[in-house]
């Protein structure tokens, strides 16, 4: 007879545990079962989601969304509308603030190019194009930049500045052709402005500039954006949210773009010496307003100097002439150049000598003043100062990006850490942004006023060996960021940073780096007959979906599995049989989860937008603390760690063999957060000894980037990097 009122249980030759009748199952149990099924669905959808590879459609852009004011906007008074509009626009500065490190790095990258005669080229369409055109046009008037050195490409041509040219922005080929006609070079800087980050005309122009090797940047109000995939050197994404009128990017997006372009151009001009104590000294007098301003600037700059005396040989004016008239006459003799007039008024030199000395100071009035006050040895100032060599190492992992800067003596003088930097789990833009932010934070601790030129840069990125398509673009981006004249940049996997440990002992023939952090991997390095250190083998490093046994993620996952399995076994039993273990209580407390029934949803849908993989990895800290506390150590936690340690040694085992890495001639390099836990590290080493692996040396590296930065400083000038790949 068919089972009625029972859950049918299939059998394969075994007697399954009888299940309770449906009518005996409580409503709470049913809800728990449904909730558990939903949680499993979330897990599978999380594992399959494409993530950052999906580009938004136009309708899903932040700027196209309907704002929270829309529902009541039509009922507001005029004053209420104005107040609401003002509140929306007041969000612009806070949207730009996170972009400041990237903007500063862009400016520093522009400076040597502009000094070498490179051009500043803007690209935009519609309102973005008009904003770009406006900033470009003002540079000629305010800072005397020639119309050849600063140009703006606007979709639809010059007439589009005054009136909309519909459809002009939709031609990617037109943008590419117009940029190609300008013949950009590596000395030029090209800034594309597109609120949506996907305007075809702008994308085409930037693509053409990238092919030509120009420094490229994008200003947008959307993220992710199509410009990210181009591989532009700098992507400045100011996210101010929905517009006051949905889709009208002339509002907050336009305000963001204008402020950013104003900031980039103005700060670059200040760094180039086109101002002096906040005065626009590089202006040329062409009209009455500028004549009055120029006169005032000359008098302010030359305050404390007797203009009658310093200009006597040049102007031959009597002492009875008014100072305003002297300043006017001086500017006229200097061809309308206020800066040259200031140089003459400050120095008392004749016109040819003042021009020559100003050229010696790189046409920079602040440097000219230093030259006058301190002699020729001070002519090189600020960006021209000869800085001691510095060496930069970047350790980009799945959890954090750590950077270190070392001096020529191998002393690490600056460090910084930012968020995840794995190209396989973050977009290209995110990776570059994390590196930019980390390096700028480290540089902020240096006495230098701006981004220094590094003698060598080594960036080790997790998952780098899987991203051949992006390798060239990432390499170019880092070269633009840090690749000054004489700088050599190298990209590798993050584990390759550890290969430099072999150089500490000439008798060591090989090394095995065992890394256990968020993920796990083992890599063998071997010294060749020529002395180069090359990668000889690799095990693990498969990522959390396939491998990472012995890692923080795996330990956290195993702890969660143990808790969930125990809960399932105790369904329907007395409460006493369902008592928490010490480890379970610690995990629930760590995750701020009051009920173990909610554990899975807490992990898969964490508060604050955390990544479930990282939440699971954080549980490993709880497990190690429970296992190695001095009182009442958790046997359950010790068992989980013992199992994980077995997996790590299993990664090492295939690499320990003749011709690859013989233990007696090999250094075992332990790195990663878990290898910094004494008890867990001892477990791993004990299991190595049980297998007969007696390594020549054991080295624990807690700061891979710092160790690599110090190593870079010790390399001879023309020597290859330690793993056999020359610096780029």
Partners of 311 in the β-ladder: none
124: closest CA among 280, 229, 296, 249?
249
Count of CA atoms in the C-beta half-sphere (13 A) of 204: 21
Residue 429 neighbours by CB distance under 10 Å: 24
Q: In whole angstroms, what is the distance from residue 492 CA to residue 475 CA?
A: 10
**How long is the chain?**
728
Alpha carbon distances (Å) from 279 to 268, 274, 276, 326, 640: 15, 9, 5, 19, 67
Is residue 677 packed enough to be buried (19+ CB in 10 Å), middle (13-18) or exposed (0-12)? buried
Q: Which residues contact 660 (CB under 8 A, 6 or more apart)?
A: 510, 524, 526, 536, 537
Q: Which of 667, 674, 655 is nearest to 501 (CA)?
A: 667
Catalytic residue among 138, 355, 580, 643: 138
Task: Locate the DSSP E strands across 397-506.
Answer: 401-407, 412-418, 456-461, 488-493
Q: Which of 64, 169, 228, 479 is catalytic?
A: 169
State both tokens at 484: 């000054």
User: What sign does the CA torsion over 19, 23, 28, 31 have?
Assistant: positive
Q: Is 568 a catalytic residue?
A: no
What tokens appear for 285 in the block? 């007098």
Q: How far apart are CA 636 and CA 564, in angstroms?
A: 14
What H or E segment, with its residue span, contains residue 120? Answer: strand 120-124
Is 169 assigned a catalytic role?
yes
Annotated active-site positions, please?
Answer: 138, 169
């Amino acid at each position: 007879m068919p089972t009625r009122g029972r859950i049918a249980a299939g059998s394969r030759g075994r007697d399954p545990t009888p299940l309770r009748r449906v009518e005996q199952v409580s409503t709470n149990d049913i809800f728990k079962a449904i909730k558990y099924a939903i949680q499993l669905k979330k897990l599978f959808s999380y594992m399959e989601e494409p993530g950052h590879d999906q580009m938004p459609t136009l309708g899903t852009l932040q700027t196209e969304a309907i704002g929270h004011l829309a529902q009541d906007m039509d009922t507001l008074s005029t004053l209420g509308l104005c107040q609401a509009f003002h509140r929306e626009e007041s969000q612009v500065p806070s949207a730009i603030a996170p972009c400041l490190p990237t903007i500063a790095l862009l400016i520093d990258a522009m400076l040597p190019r502009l000094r070498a005669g490179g051009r500043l080229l803007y690209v935009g369409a519609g309102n973005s194009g008009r904003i770009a055109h406006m900033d470009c046009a003002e540079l000629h008037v305010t800072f005397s930049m020639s119309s050849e050195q600063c140009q703006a490409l606007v979709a639809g041509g010059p007439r589009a500045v005054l009136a909309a040219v519909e459809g002009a922005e939709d031609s990617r080929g037109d943008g590419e052709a117009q940029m190609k006609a300008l013949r950009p070079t590596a000395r030029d800087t090209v800034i594309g402005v597109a609120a949506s980050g996907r305007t075809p005309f702008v994308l085409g122009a930037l693509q053409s500039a990238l092919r030509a090797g120009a420094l490229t940047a994008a200003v947008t109000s959307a993220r992710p954006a199509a410009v990210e995939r181009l591989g532009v050197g700098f992507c400045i994404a100011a996210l101010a949210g929905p517009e006051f009128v949905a889709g009208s990017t002339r509002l907050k997006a336009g305000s963001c773009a204008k402020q950013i372009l104003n900031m980039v151009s103005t700060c670059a001009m200040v760094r180039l010496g086109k101002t002096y104590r906040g005065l626009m000294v590089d202006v040329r007098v062409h009209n009455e307003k500028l004549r009055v301003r120029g006169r005032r600037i000359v008098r302010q700059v030359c305050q404390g100097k007797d203009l009658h005396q310093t200009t006597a040989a040049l102007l031959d004016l009597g002492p009875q002439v008014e100072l305003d008239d002297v300043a006017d006459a001086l500017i006229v003799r200097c061809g309308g150049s206020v800066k040259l007039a200031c140089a003459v008024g400050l120095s008392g030199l004749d016109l040819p000598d003042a021009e020559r000395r100003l050229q010696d100071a790189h046409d920079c009035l602040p440097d000219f003043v230093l030259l006058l006050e301190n002699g020729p040895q001070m002519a090189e100032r600020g960006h021209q100062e000869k800085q001691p060599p510095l060496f930069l190492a970047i350790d980009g992992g799945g959890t954090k990006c750590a950077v270190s800067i070392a001096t020529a003596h191998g002393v690490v003088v600056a460090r910084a850490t930012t968020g995840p930097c794995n190209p396989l789990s973050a977009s290209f833009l995110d990776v570059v942004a994390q590196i930019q932010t980390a390096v700028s934070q480290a540089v902020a601790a240096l006495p230098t006023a701006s981004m220094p030129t590094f003698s060598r840069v080594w960036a080790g990125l997790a998952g780098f060996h899987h991203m051949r398509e992006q390798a060239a673009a990432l390499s170019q981006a880092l070269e633009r960021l840090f690749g000054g004249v004489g700088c050599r940049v190298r990209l590798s996997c993050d584990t390759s940073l550890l290969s430099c440990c072999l150089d500490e002992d000439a008798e060591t023939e090989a090394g095995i780096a065992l890394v256990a952090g968020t993920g796990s991997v083992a890599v063998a390095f071997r010294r060749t007959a020529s002395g180069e250190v090359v990668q000889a083998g690799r095990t693990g490093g498969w990522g959390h979906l396939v491998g990472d046994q012995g890692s923080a993620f795996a330990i956290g996952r195993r702890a969660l599995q143990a808790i969930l399995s125990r809960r399932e076994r105790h369904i329907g039993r007395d409460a006493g049989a369902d008592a928490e273990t010490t480890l379970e209580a610690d995990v629930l407390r760590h995750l701020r989860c009051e009920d173990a029934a909610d554990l899975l949803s807490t992990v898969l849908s964490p508060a604050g937008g955390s990544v479930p993989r990282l939440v699971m990895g954080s549980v490993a800290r709880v497990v190690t603390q429970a296992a190695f506390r001095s009182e009442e150590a958790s046997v359950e936690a010790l068992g989980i760690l013992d199992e994980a340690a077995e997996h790590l040694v299993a990664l090492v085992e295939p690499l320990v063999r003749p011709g690859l890495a013989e233990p007696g001639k090999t250094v075992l390099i332990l790195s990663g957060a878990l290898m910094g836990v004494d008890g867990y590290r001892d477990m791993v080493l004990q299991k190595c000894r049980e297998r007969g692996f007696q390594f020549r040396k054991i080295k624990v590296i807690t700061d891979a980037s710092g160790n690599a930065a110090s190593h870079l400083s010790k390399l001879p000038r023309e020597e290859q990097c330690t793993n056999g790949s020359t610096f780029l």
